[in-house]
């Protein structure tokens, strides 16, 4: 198998020829068709998340076909299309797992961070945390749903049912979840990097009723706001944008420090919350909704050997929608 490997945090990935791997008990091997590139991959590569396993193969938005089954695996067949998300395994017995909050498991494994991921021709996955992807006929289009979509969905659920929803940072997650919000009959207000006309145009093309820079106030008070950009300075801005009783959701795994802000912008029962990881129920719920909502992802495809280029394009804001690694491209 071939893989792009992170050998040293902060260094470019290296293309390596590795021995073919066999799935262990309860595992499957997936022939990777596509793996989307997530900002979390940047946080891993750039050392913004603590203690990644190295060497490690990044990538946690994997779509591919089962090509080997480990001992004891049931419910999957050779050739079946599946998805492998960020949550690669949970212990199943800690208090969080026992209370249906496996996203907060005390002893988890994360794909592309603490176990090898999908910037490769093949990946080994825990069958219990692998998702059937029947009906998703285009693996490149489906790959961003495995994190941008899932975390976007968890963030939207956390935001509540308000009509006017602001999205700060209009990248992979926002461009997916904006379509769901519109399908639900609600209004999208998109906040982009100041001066980013392309992102603003994309937001409007996807049905946003307003799009502007993150340094601009919206034309109306929002019921909720979701911050996908890893920029702590956006938290006070979002709190100022939401109405009384409004909620601000931080949807990323990493964010720069939040600056001091006056209590007055939190008062009147505004709420500031975060989301962490995902549960398998999140995945089942969202993958059922995405086709009904007519979600269409906007993707830029890179061959496996160009994974560093894809990461750098994401780092520098040169991607509209989502970048996707296709090993056979």
User: In this structure, how many other beta carbons lie within 10 angstroms of the beta carbon of residue 85?
Assistant: 25
Interval 270-274 mean pLDDT? 98
In a shared domain, residues 31 and 131:
yes
**What is the Cα–Cα distance from 236 to 248, expressed in whole angstroms?**
10
In a shared domain, residues 36 and 128:
yes
Which residues, 6 or more positions from 59, have their beta carbon under 8 angstroms from its beta carbon? Answer: 35, 37, 41, 111, 112, 117, 118, 119, 120, 123, 325
For residue range 27-52, list pLDDT tens digits in order.
999 999 999 999 999 999 999 999 88
56: its two tokens: 């490690």
What was the pLDDT predicted at 76? 97
The share of the chain scoring above pLDDT 90, in percent, equals 98
Contact by Cβ (8 Å): 165, 159 = yes
For residue range 94-112, list pLDDT tens digits in order.
999 999 999 999 999 999 9
In a shared domain, residues 251 and 305:
no
Let me know if residue 156 belongs to a domain: yes
In a shared domain, residues 216 and 308:
no
Let me know if residue 62 belongs to a domain: yes
What was the pLDDT predicted at 241? 98
In a shared domain, residues 63 and 172:
no
**What is the Cα–Cα distance from 276 to 283, expressed in whole angstroms?**
14
φ, ψ of residue 36 in degrees (nearest 5): -70, 155
In a shared domain, residues 119 and 156:
no
In a shared domain, residues 13 and 115:
yes
For residue 307, the enclosing domain spans 2-145+278-285+295-326
Interval 11-29 mean pLDDT? 97
In a shared domain, residues 92 and 130:
yes
In a shared domain, residues 164 and 195:
yes
What was the pLDDT predicted at 52? 87
pLDDT at 329 over 80: no
Let me know if residue 221 belongs to a domain: yes
Interval 243-254 mean pLDDT? 97
pLDDT at 138 over 90: yes
Which residues, 6 or more positions from 128, have their beta carbon under 8 angstroms from its beta carbon? Answer: 26, 89
Let me know if residue 130 belongs to a domain: yes
CATH number at residue 314: 3.90.180.10
What was the pLDDT predicted at 139? 98
In a shared domain, residues 73 and 198:
no
Q: What is the CA radius of gyration of the chain?
A: 19
In a shared domain, residues 122 and 179:
no
pLDDT at 185 over 90: yes
Q: What is the 3-state secondary structure (H, E, C) of the chain?
A: CEEEEECCCCCCCEEEECCCCCCCCCEEEEEEEEEEECHHHHHHHCCCCCCCCCCECCCCCEEEEEEEECCCCCCCCCCCEEEECCEEECCCCCHHHHCCCHHHCCCCEEECCCECCCCECEEEEEHHHCEECCCCCCHHHHHHHHCHHHHHHHHHHHHCCCCEEEEECCCHHHHHHHHHHHHCCCEEEEEECCCCHHHHHHHHHCCCCEEEECCCCCCCCEEEEEECCCCCCHHHHHHHHEEEEEEEEECCCCCCCCCCCCHHHCCCCCEEEECCCCCHHHHHHHHHHHHHCCCCCCEEEEEHHHHHHHHHHHHCCCCCCEEEEECCC
CATH number at residue 217: 3.40.50.720
Q: pTM score, two decimals?
A: 0.95
What was the pLDDT predicted at 119? 98
Contact by Cβ (8 Å): 111, 85 = yes
Let me know if residue 76 belongs to a domain: yes
For residue range 63-95, list pLDDT tens digits in order.
999 999 999 999 999 999 999 999 999 999 999
What was the pLDDT predicted at 328? 86
pLDDT at 296 over 80: yes
What is the rounded end-to-end Cα distance, in angstroms, of the chain? 15
Number of domains in the chain: 2
Let me know if residue 116 belongs to a domain: yes
Contact by Cβ (8 Å): 64, 33 = yes
In a shared domain, residues 232 and 311:
no
- Dmax of the chain from CA atoms? 59
pLDDT at 61 over 90: yes
For residue range 203-238, list pLDDT tens digits in order.
999 999 999 999 999 999 999 999 999 999 999 999
Let me know if residue 290 belongs to a domain: no
């Amino acid at each position: 198998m071939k893989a792009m490997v992170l050998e040293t945090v902060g260094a470019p990935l290296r293309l390596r020829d590795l021995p073919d791997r066999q799935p262990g008990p309860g595992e499957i091997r997936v022939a990777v068709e596509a793996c989307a590139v997530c900002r979390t991959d940047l946080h891993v590569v750039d050392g913004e998340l603590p203690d990644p396993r190295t060497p490690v193969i990044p990538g946690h938005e994997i779509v591919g076909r089962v090509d080997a089954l480990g001992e004891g695996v049931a419910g999957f067949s050779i050739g079946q299309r599946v998805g492998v998300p960020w949550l690669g395994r949970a212990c199943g017995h800690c208090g969080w797992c026992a209370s249906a909050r496996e996203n907060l498991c005390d002893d988890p494994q994360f794909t592309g961070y603490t176990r090898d991921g999908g910037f490769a021709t093949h990946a080994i996955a825990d069958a219990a945390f692998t998702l059937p992807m029947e009906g998703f006929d285009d693996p490149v289009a489906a790959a961003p749903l495995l994190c941008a979509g899932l975390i976007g969905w968890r963030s939207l659920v956390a935001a509540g049912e308000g009509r006017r929803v602001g999205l700060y940072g209009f990248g992979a997650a926002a461009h997916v979840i904006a379509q769901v919000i519109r399908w639900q009959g609600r209004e999208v207000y998109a906040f982009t990097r100041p001066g980013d006309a392309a992102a603003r145009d994309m937001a409007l093309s996807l049905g946003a009723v307003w799009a502007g820079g993150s340094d601009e106030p919206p034309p109306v008070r929002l019921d909720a706001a979701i911050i996908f950009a890893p920029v702590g300075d956006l938290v006070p801005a979002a709190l100022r944008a939401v109405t009384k009783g409004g909620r601000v959701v931080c949807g990323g795994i990493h964010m720069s420090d939040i600056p001091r802000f006056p209590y007055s912008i939190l008062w009147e029962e505004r709420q500031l919350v975060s989301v962490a990881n995902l549960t398998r129920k999140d995945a089942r719920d969202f993958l059922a909704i995405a086709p009904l909502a007519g979600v269409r992802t906007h993707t830029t495809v890179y061959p496996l050997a160009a994974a560093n280029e894809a990461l750098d394009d994401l780092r520098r804001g040169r991607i509209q929608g989502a970048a996707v690694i296709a090993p056979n491209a």
